[in-house]
Amino acid sequence: MTTPLRTALIGVGTAGRVFHGPLLATDPDYAVTVVSTADPDRAGQATAAHPDAVVVPTPDDALARAVDLDLVIIGTPPHTHADLAHRAIDAGLAVVVDKPFTVTSVEGREVIEHARAAGVPLTVHQNRRWDADFLTLRELLAHGRLGTVHRFESRFEWWKPVPPDTWKGRLGPEQGGGILFDLGTHLIDQAVQLFGPVEGLSAETDVRRAGGGADDDTFVVLEHTSGVRSHLWMSSVAAQPGPRFRVLGSRAGYVSWELDGQEAALKEGLVPTDPDWGLTPPDRWGTLGVPGALEPVPAARGDYGAFYRLLSAALRSGGPLPVDPADSLHVIELIERLRRSAAAA
């Protein structure tokens, strides 16, 4: 294949509008040819962002054009993911599912088996694997700069005391709502990628905001077989957020603050082709060392575009997919165990 991959973008909320659309629009290996949204305002935004695309009101309308497509990206609410993925697979199209992959592990296994049996490529958009801070930490671990790690602390915390008037503010956990399914999907995936399989686990899940439909303040403990213990915080009601990473080892610790800047840049209208894309200013670098001997660590360059470069290579030449869906299924399995742990506490 030498022509752009003809792509349907199903859903243009935050996922489709911010995390997928701009990356596709600036990658010559892709052409957004169909966009599905029932919202008139979002339809107008989609037309402006993808002027060569046909904007249709429903996923059915998008999948009816399967003969003119190579790839479907599913950026709709979580409880719709499994059904839409099955339908895209039936249409013979490669599939990207936004996180969380599915609401239940049973659904996830069925989607993976369906794709395998049909010979259709399937992957999940775990874009936080290409955060600058995560890439930096992975390099430090690969070079043994911290020694033997025993504690990994990771946070996505912010101050949003009023639930949003979107599906994220309305759906319950049985439909994939709540911060454990949302931000926890990233935090757990990163922890497992860094420190491996999980033996024991526990969770505290709370609903702090009035009118909230699901957990918005959650703490997770993962006990890895490697000996590392991960403490993961995710909260919408953190009046003073803690460090993004705090990692403790036998030789040194590593602490970083602030979030990777790519999401904010995308929301501001910047794109990955900008020369400073993914760069973290020195005043936001993390520090490595021990008390009295700390040094700033230059941040690796964040690179959300890598997901789609890897996907293009996989679809064109048979290389590995950017994310193995089995990884994302495992995250859902861990979330199910964590929810049972929290309910039993």
- The model's pLDDT over 116-173, given as tens digits with 9 standing for 90+, comes to 999 999 999 999 999 999 999 999 999 999 999 999 999 999 999 998 878 787 888 8
- 206 and 216 in contact (C-beta within 8 Å)? yes
This prediction's pTM:
0.96
Based on DSSP, count helices (H) and strands (E) in the chain, helices before strands.
Answer: 12, 14
**Helix, coil or strand: residue 164:** coil
The tokens for 336 are 């199910």
**Helix, coil or strand: residue 295:** strand
> pLDDT band at residue 2, thresholds of 50, 70 and 90?
confident
* Cis, bond preceding 100 (omega within 30 deg of 0): yes
Q: Which long-range contacts (CB under 8 A, 24 or more apart) does 58-67 make?
A: 59/10, 59/84, 59/87, 61/36, 62/8, 62/10, 62/34, 62/35, 62/36, 63/8, 63/87, 63/88, 63/91, 63/93, 65/8, 65/33, 65/34, 66/91, 66/92, 66/93
CA pseudo-torsion sign 322, 156, 165, 176: positive
Question: Up-side HSE of residue 337: CA atoms within 13 Å toward CB?
Answer: 16
User: Is 21's pLDDT higher than 90?
Assistant: yes
List, for residues 209-257, the tens digit of each pLDDT value: 987 779 999 999 999 999 999 999 999 999 999 999 999 999 999 999 9
Closest CA to 72 of 33, 37, 44, 105: 33
C-alpha distance from residue 97 to each of 82, 88, 202, 209 (Å): 9, 11, 27, 29
User: Is 1's pLDDT higher than 70?
Assistant: no
List, for residues 266-306, the tens digit of each pLDDT value: 999 999 999 999 999 999 999 999 999 999 999 999 999 99
Identify the pLDDT of residue 210: 87
State the Cα–Cα distance between residues 69 and 189, nearest whole angstrom. Answer: 30
User: Is 344's pLDDT higher than 60?
Assistant: yes
C-alpha distance from residue 96 to each of 45, 252, 299, 304, 310 (Å): 22, 38, 28, 15, 12
List, for residues 172-195, the tens digit of each pLDDT value: 889 999 999 999 999 999 999 999
Whole-angstrom distance between the N-terminal and C-terminal Cα of the chain? 54
Identify the pLDDT of residue 212: 73
Identify the pLDDT of residue 323: 98
Q: Which residues of 78-114 are buried (b: 16+ CB within 10 A; e: fewer)?
A: bbbbbebbbbbbebebbbbbbbbbbbbbebbbebbeb
List, for residues 321-338, the tens digit of each pLDDT value: 999 999 999 999 999 999
Run of H or E including 216: none
User: Is 345's pLDDT higher than 80?
Assistant: no
Q: Is 145 left (phi over 0), alpha (psi -120 to 50) or beta?
A: alpha
Q: What percentage of the chain reaches a pLDDT higher than 90? A: 92
Cβ atoms within 10 Å of 219's Cβ, excluding its own = 17
